[in-house]
Amino acid sequence: MASSLSLQHRHGLALGLLSLSLSPALAWADSTLLETVTVTGEQIDSYHATSASVGGFGEAPLLDTPASVAVFTEQLLKDRQARLLSEVLSNDASTGESYAPIGYYENFVVRGFSLSAANSYKINGSTITGEQNVALENKQQVELLKGLAGLQSGVSEPGGLVNYVTKRPQNVRSVTVASNESGERYIATDLGGWIDSEQRLGVRANFAHEDIRSYVDNSDGKRDFASLAVDWNITDAALLQLDAEYQTREQRSVPGYQLLGGSVVPHGIDPKDRLADQRWSKPVGIDSLNLGSRFEYRFDDNWSANVSASRSRVVIDDYSAFAWGCYGAASCAGSAVPNYFSPEGDYDVYDFRNPDDTRRNDELQAALNGRFDSGPLQHELTVGSSALRRIVDRRDSVNEWVGTANIYQPVPDFAPTTEPLGHTYRRLDSRQYGLFFTDRLSYGDHWQAIVGGRQVRLDEKTFDIDGNTTRHTQRAEFLPNVALIYKPRPDISLYTSYSKGLSLGGEAAWFTTNADEILPPTVSRQLEVGAKRDWQGLSLGAALFRISKAYQYSRPNGDGSFTFVQQGEQENIGLELSASGHLTEQLQVAASAAAIRARVEDSGTDSYEGHQAINVPKVRASLHADYSIASIKGLALLGGLRYSASKYASQAGNVKVDGYTVFDAGARYTLDVEGYETVLRLTVDNLFDKRYWRDVGEYLGDGYLFQGAPRTARLSATVSF
């Protein structure tokens, strides 16, 4: 008890010191930005990570990383029994969902900006296609860089970057079985070891099968997953790492709601109801293959080189009954584009068919890393080059109206369309080449400066169904990244940074006057200032940022039509706070809070300006805690909460959804069964069965509202042998 009280006292002192350290840092609030970060933690049974790998450029302590980085460790993933990325990122307050329907791949907003499926997701630092629900069974941890990542990724969205870190070979054998309140069946295995006694060649294999039982009616599915990781220490100086993972997943997608009459939030809705439910619709199938390789050679203690190559391929088969708009309702007849439900709750049902939708990313990168001194300065230098190609092949899809239903009535049976599918054609061919460098200059024990940049060359073509080039963009851009770090003592760091990014242009919605047009890339800029503090296994952080990006949206025209344009600017200013690690010997936490002001300026549409941007709450907070019961060996109680303030559900800011607080609970019990370590886990999300709207964003010009899940429970048992 005395030691616990002492530890609590020390952490109280740590919090006080952090607040003092932030005072001078916040005075620099007009200048900041960040660099791309990936994190590798070594503490298996902890929520606390201490180091970060900067986009494959090398590993550095988080204290020496001038960026806001959230690391979700293996322990947190296990305790949350996470299967989807949304279950992971819900533990960070800077992150929200943006068009994440059940059964489809998920989309996210970080710092108020949407991530891109084209370039915002990586595995071991290599870019993957984001149109997939990446399996977590073979992941050691998930890392979230908040803010610009132009130096490491080139073309990327300003909100952030998600990096999955795969498990490496080690001696492990375990089986996990699980179920939920709906009778879900799940089994996963984790097998690994070294082939030889000298540990030169090691393998790690993960397998999983899941019969998905959703809380939404008629929305079940299944998933199969397999992965293999190989580490080959060819010599003491040469290392080859190989990774391969394949997943096939199918589940009926659940359409979102739209505003009634364009201005009223639906009410009295059961989250278990499935809109537009038709017997002839099929589950959405998503097959994904991710391959990666990395070779590293160490010339000596100071110099090394590495080469990495990767391929990520996703094929989506979509035969859905989809809810959108109200052309079929009499009360919507006066609207040229009624992309909302009628005031009475009527909505149109569409037969949407888009099979063989193929996305592929191929990436190659080489880098040289070295350390040397020049007078009083110590250098950590990285120079390299990269090439990335992304292609999109798709069919001319079918999207035909088949009838009109009502959100408060059972869905009638409609006949499916007989419209034939079109042929497959290449929609996009995007090639990105980069030359990059970064130099960390250290002066004494207190000062560090990071100077870096990437020269990007983008060569991108879009095509129509006849193979004609509809756009050819050739653009070269230098993306600088500079930062200054001051460490008054080894466990405190203050930083300020500036960076510039380049983002791909958005795609016009099907109902706009320039339907399917992909706009040219846009430039974004970020300033960031922050402070970090490590103390007895607890990491504290604060960051103040400002991000600006060209605004892209479906502009309303005078005749009721819409045109997708790039006009004006969105500027987001925010403050982030975080804490992770042990508060006492028995209690560890992962906590964060974020306050964001998101505004649109000079868009040409007055109603879209002067208020908070759509789907971005002004305040969000998250907490997950793990408390070990000292009197009962092996037992820990788990709990947490997720809070969101109210947020606008329309670009015009004429309607809001209420804020919410959701509580989670659970337990973990470790015991010995016949000599085998066994871990039982129980998680109960939304303990008090709160009704709330978790996501009210836009996707391809359409606004959708998705309810949060009701109370759900999951029980698992993991046996190690």
* 417-437 residue pLDDT tens: 999 998 999 999 999 999 999
Task: Report how far residue 230's alpha carbon sits from residue 514's, in angstroms, rounded to the nearest whole number.
Answer: 48
| Residue-level pLDDT at 636 | 97
How far apart (Å, rounded) are the C-alpha atoms in residues 370 and 189?
39
Whole-number CA gyration radius for the chain: 25
3-state secondary structure of 62: helix
Which one, of 208, 216, 55, lies nearest residue 122 by Cα?
55
Backbone angles phi, psi at 76, to 5 degrees: -65, -40
Q: Are 134 and 128 within 8 A, CB to CB?
A: yes
pLDDT band at 560 (very low <50, low <70, confident <90, very high): confident
The letter for the amino acid at 444 is G
**pLDDT tens figures, 71-120:** 999 999 999 999 999 999 999 999 999 888 999 999 999 999 999 999 99
Q: How confident is the model at residue 701 (pLDDT cuts 50, 70, 90)?
A: confident
pLDDT at 227 over 50: yes
Candidates 477, 469, 610, 609; CA nearest to 553 is 609
In this prediction, residue 374 carries a pLDDT of 95
Residue 283 φ/ψ, nearest 5 degrees:
-60, 145
Q: Can you give the pLDDT at residue 471?
A: 87
Q: Which of 235, 134, 24, 148 is nearest to 547 (CA)?
A: 148
Instruction: Say which CATH number the domain at 537 has.
Output: 2.40.170.20
User: CA-to-CA distance for 504 and 162, rounded, in angstroms?
Assistant: 17
| CA nearest neighbour of 105 among 713, 502, 699, 710 | 699
Q: Token pair 């005075």 is at which residue?
A: 27
Residue 29, pLDDT above cutoff 80: no
The strand pair at 647-648 and 635-644 is best described as unpaired
Arithmetic mean of pLDDT, 19-48: 44
Is the model's pLDDT at 548 over the cut of 60?
yes
Quick one: tokens of 258? 């739209």
Q: What is the pLDDT of residue 90?
A: 94
Which pair of tokens denotes residue 528?
Answer: 């960031």
Residue type, 601: E
What gap in Å lies between CA 397 and CA 354, rounded to an integer? 5
pLDDT band of 16, cuts 50, 70, 90: very low
Average pLDDT over residues 157-164: 93
Q: How many CB atoms lie within 10 A of CB 635?
A: 16
The fraction of the chain above a pLDDT of 70, given in percent, is 93
Question: How far is CA 531 from each of CA 15, 25, 48, 450, rounded to the nearest angstrom?
Answer: 12, 7, 17, 16
- Label residue 58 by pLDDT band (50, 70, 90): low
Pairing between β-strand 656-657 and β-strand 647-648 as defined by DSSP bridges: antiparallel
Tokens representing 537 are 């296994």
pLDDT (mean) for 266-285: 94
For tokens 């046996």, name the residue. Answer: 719
Could you tell me if residue 207 is inside a domain?
yes
Residue 9, pLDDT > 50, answer no
Classify residue 181: in a domain, yes or no: yes
Q: To the nearest whole percent, how much of the chain has pLDDT over 90?
A: 83
Nearby residues of 674 by Cβ (< 8 Å), 6 or more positions away: none
Give how many domains the chain has, as a whole number.
1
β-pair type (121-123, 126-127): antiparallel
Predicted confidence (pLDDT) at residue 132 exceeds the cutoff of 70: yes
Of the candidates 445, 474, 451, the residue with the CA atom closest to the CA atom of residue 462? 474
d(CA 232, CA 260): 59
In a domain? residue 47: no
Could you give the 3-state DSSP secondary structure of residue 337? coil
Provide the whole-model pTM: 0.92
Which whole number is the average pLDDT over 355-362? 97
HSE-CB of 681 using CA atoms within 13 angstroms? 23
Torsion of CA 533, 535, 537, 540, to 10 degrees: -30
Distance separating the N- and C-terminal Cα atoms of the chain:
35
CA atoms within 13 A on the CB side of 637: 8
- Alpha carbon separation from 38 to 67, 152, 296, 471, 546 (Å, rounded): 11, 10, 18, 34, 22
Question: What pLDDT does 607 receive?
Answer: 92
Q: CA 162 to CA 130: how far, in whole Å?
A: 10
Across the range 235-259, mean pLDDT stands at: 97
The per-residue pLDDT for 44 is 53
Cβ-based neighbours of 238, under 8 Å, separated by 6 or more = 295, 296, 297, 298
Long-range contacts at 628-635 (CB < 8 A, ≥ 24 apart): 628/586, 628/587, 629/586, 630/586, 634/669, 634/670, 634/671, 635/667, 635/668, 635/669, 635/670
**Would the pLDDT of 39 be above 60?**
no
Element (H, E) at 13: helix 2-26
Is pLDDT above 90 for 51? no
Quick one: which H or E segment has residue 4?
helix 2-26
- pLDDT band per the 50, 70, 90 thresholds, residue 130: very high
Q: Which amino acid is at 88?
A: V
Could you write out the three-class secondary structure of 180-235?
ECCCCEEEEEEEEEECCCCCCEEEEEEEEEEEECCCCCCCCEEEEEEEEEEEEECC
What is d(CA 248, CA 122) in angstroms, rounded to the nearest whole number? 19
**For 632-653, what is each residue's pLDDT tens digit?**
999 999 999 999 999 999 999 9
Domain, as residue range, for 640: 52-720
627 strand-pairing partners: 587, 637
**Res. 336: pLDDT tops 70:** yes
Quick one: pLDDT at residue 27?
36
Confidence at residue 3, expressed as pLDDT on a 0 to 100 scale: 38
Write the pLDDT tens digit of every residue in 580-619.
999 999 999 999 999 999 999 999 999 999 999 999 999 9
The answer to whether residue 28 is domain-embedded is: no
- Predicted local confidence at residue 56, as pLDDT: 53
Instruction: Output DSSP code: residue 137.
Output: T
Dihedral, 459, 465, 468, 473 alpha carbons, nearest 10: -20
* 348 vs 697, more confident: 348
Rounded to whole angstroms, the Cα distance separating 433 from 438 reads 17
Check: CB of residue 94 under 8 Å from CB of residue 594: yes
Does some domain include residue 6? no
The 3-state DSSP class for residue 295 equals: strand
Element housing 97 (H / E): strand 95-97
- When pLDDT is averaged across residues 689-702 and rounded to a whole number, the result is 90
Is the residue at 4 inside a domain? Answer: no
Q: How far apart are CA 409 and CA 331, in angstroms?
A: 18
- Is residue 67 domain-resident? yes
Amino acid at 47: Y
What is the SS3 assignment for 475-486?
A: EEEEEEEEEEEE
Q: What is the mean pLDDT of the chain?
A: 91
User: Dihedrals φ, ψ of 333, to 5°?
Assistant: -65, -25
Torsion over CA of 559, 565, 566 and 571, rounded to 10 degrees? 60
**Collapsed DSSP state (helix, strand, coil) of residue 74:** helix
| Spatial CB neighbours of 182, under 8 Å, sequence gap ≥ 6 | 213, 214, 215
Confidence of residue 55 (pLDDT cuts 50, 70, 90): very low
pLDDT in tens, 484-513: 999 999 999 999 999 999 988 888 888 899
pLDDT of 299 > 80? The answer is yes
Does residue 35 form part of some domain?
Answer: no
Among the residue ranges 350-364, 465-479, 509-523, 551-565, the one predicted with the least confidence is 509-523
C-alpha closest to that of 46 among 67, 77, 68, 11: 77
Q: 32 pLDDT band (50/70/90 cuts)?
A: very low
